[in-house]
Chain A
């Protein structure tokens, strides 16, 4: 019954993540990919909003996209899980359906 949401835009540039958070049901998951990975970094203007959303939604971030942008895993918000491409595939199979917030 749980949905996987993917967000590929930076929270600082588009409202995709905020829209997604506002419509994602409790118990669903959000995977941050591509430019969306910068939203996972701790201590930003958006991190409090994301921490709040994490009370009911599980957050994941794609490690290879983080590395590409020079962001190490140790600076992301506590509780966001880093996955690789295999983990991405696992997430797609573990959830009932997927919504891509482009």
Chain B
């Protein structure tokens, strides 16, 4: 697997007002078929994409938020959320969906996918990537 590259998808927009969030999710799911090292970052208004309890029944747009919980099954287990973005918006980890993945190396133990990072940690993570895709 010498050709594995580090891909990061950076999400900075709230869902539904624009198409970015859905497009990103679709590209992530397509990309998951290529056995790359995938990470997702949620920064700025992107943190709203992960809020729990989304109900789009009155706005006539498909609620795609449930799809995030399927990411673990596609071996997308690294979901990074910017602490400062949560703070600015009066949000905490409790306001976000509980996303998990199963670790094959530890008898399929269920582990949390979301990791909260500081701005400085997020910046370091960006630097490590081979490919950064922004939405």
Contacts and interface: CB of A to CB of B under 8 A. Distances in A.
Contact of A69 (B44, B51, B57, B87): B51
Contact of B45 (A35, A42, A75): A35
Contacts of B18: 35
Nearest to B16: A68
A65 B87 CA distance: 21
A67 interface: yes
Interface string A16-50: 00000000000000000011101001111101000
B59 A64 contact: yes
Contacts of B90: 41-44, 47, 75
B49 to A, nearest CB: 9
B130 interface: no
Interface stretch (A6-14, A52-60, A93-101): A6-14
Given A35-B18, A44-B88, A67 B58 contact: yes
Contacts of A43: 90
A12 B17 CA distance: 14
Nearest to A71: B51
A68 B61 contact: yes
Interface of A: 8-10, 12-13, 34-36, 38, 41-45, 47, 63-65, 67-72, 75, 84-85
